[in-house]
Amino acid sequence: MDDNVRRAMKLEANVARKLDDISRKMGGGSVSIGFMGGAPYPDGTPVAAVAFWNEFGHEGPFPAPPRPFFRNMIEEHQKEWPEEMARTAKATDYDGKKVLGIIGDHIKGQLVQSIMDLTEPALSDVTVARKGFAKPLVDTGHMKDSVTVKVDA
């Protein structure tokens, strides 16, 4: 075996060992961002249901078009998350629980901002008259304030 092959094999073994070390430090786990169960409006309506109806629209006596704040946020930011996660992992010495918490809080902020930024489709005149203002997705602020991060690590 020539020296170039030996060096390549040694480099490959070192990289594999380093990746194994990082994997052990990071551990397993997951992060959930969204509207978790147990966050109702004062009348008992689940916030997750209202978020769903806003995201996808709904029929019925008070129909509303889709206002895809969640999908818009994912589309806009998902390509940033792997690099942010890598930087955060390095900055926390690969503490998986910390990484998931930091990234979860960051994405939560992006989701809240998406709720605040959404302006289309516009509200109906009837809804504007009832609310007194024309901002979609925000009535009392309860949905926006109910975005939750849950880390399982």
Give yes or no for residue 145 having a pLDDT over 80: yes
As to burial, measured by CB atoms within 10 angstroms (0-12 exposed, 13-18 middle, 19+ buried), residue 14 is exposed
Give yes or no for residue 91 having a pLDDT over 70: yes
pLDDT tens-digit readout, 26-51: 677 888 999 987 789 999 999 999 99
**Chain-wide mean pLDDT for the chain?**
88
Question: What burial letters (b/e) apply to 20-55, b meaning 16+ CB within 10 Å?
Answer: eeeeeebeeeebebbbeeebeeeeeebbbebbebbb
Give yes or no for residue 25 having a pLDDT over 80: no
Q: What mean pLDDT is predicted for residues 63-75?
A: 95
Locus of tokens 């996660």: 85
Count of other CB atoms within 10 angstroms of residue 96: 19
pLDDT in the model for residue 16: 75
149 Cβ partners below 8 Å, 6+ apart? 31, 32, 33, 101, 104, 105, 107, 108
